[in-house]
Structure 1
Amino acid sequence: MYGDRATIRRILTELGDTWAIVGLSSNQQRAAYGVAEVLQRHGKRIVPVHPNAETVHGEVGYPSLEAIPFGIDVVDTFVRSELAGSVADEAVAIGAKAVWFQLGVVDEDAYHRTRAADLDMVMDRCPAIEIPRLG
């Protein structure tokens, strides 16, 4: 398992409240849309990252992580596994504190690179599922 209970708790409660959500668009049928809404309800600032740079849930979107003009605490990743590694590398490059790969997103090499860069990392989990488990 990639992301033990302590790491999940730390990311959700201690690392900061600004979450870049890679793959978030205004498409309400996508999982990212609902997860972003849950994160907002729990006090997180969401930052949509999508090539279309759409405003979602009242937050201005950006076409890439490097285009965001302020610090990001957590990069939550809703892309296919074969693209996730480059997102993790960008998260390291922008100085994020943690990377979260959503359910079904798995890249073990990216996990190890991210951890070697001293970022917290969770893989194949969903924060919308984990938040209620915190108690």
Structure 2
Amino acid sequence: MNHDHYDDAYLSGILTSVRTIAVVGASANASRPSHGVLGYLTRCGYETYPIHPGLAGQALFGRQVYARLADVPVPIDMVDVFRNSDAIPALAEEVLQLAPLPKVVWLQLGIRNDAAAASLEAAGIDVVMNRCPAIERPRLLGA
């Protein structure tokens, strides 16, 4: 996969096929991008699962916050990540322990780790890096 350019059909295919999205690094702080993106995805009708160890058990946008991906009680279609690039290898390992595996790992703007992406793709997981679904969805789907 060329992570320097994504075909619009690839991105829109992801955004129209996923239903459950875990947002790693979700924040209760309304000024944080992870807070706004979580709210947007929830309003768009995705079944969202905020992930943040310090907020576990609380609710954001009416959705229970979980400490780790493994705590989410349903299969996750997409993992949307708000963590720095250095944290991605450990997160990739956590993702690869899930059963079933998610279809997609989406790394937010400014986040890229090619080695971790390669390990996820080797397991059959689609990867998007340095993009935001809250930007791509309205651009591609008009909503």
Structure 2 length-normalised TM:
0.87
Q: How far, CA to CA, are the matches of 2:5 and 2:69 in structure 1? A: 23
**AA at the equivalent of 2:62:** G
State the structure with more CA Rg. Answer: 2
Count residues with an aligned counterpart.
134
Q: How far, CA to CA, are the matches of 2:5 and 2:23 in structure 1? A: 19
* 1:55 is the counterpart of 2:59: yes
Q: Is the 8 A contact 1:7 1:120 kept in 2?
A: no
The residue that corresponds to 2:73 in the other structure is 69
The residue that corresponds to 1:79 in the other structure is 83
Matching residue within 125, 134, 138 for 1:119 = 125
The residue that corresponds to 2:26 in the other structure is 24
Matching residue within 131, 135, 138 for 1:129 = 135
**Change in 2 beyond 3 A, CA 1:119/1:26:** same
Q: What pairs with 1:89-128 in structure 2 (closer than 5 Å)? A: 89-94=93-98, 95-128=101-134
Percent of aligned positions that are identical: 40
**Change in 2 beyond 3 A, CA 1:64/1:2:** farther
Superposition CA RMSD, Å: 1.3
Q: Which runs of 5+ in 2 are unaligned?
A: none
Q: How many angstroms does 1:2 deviate by?
A: 5.7
Report runs of 4+ in structure 1 exceeding 6 Å deviation.
none
Residues 33-84 of structure 1: per-residue CA shift (max 9 Å, x gap): 1011111121111101001213111000110001112111100000011002
Q: How far, CA to CA, are the matches of 1:49 and 1:116 in structure 2? A: 25
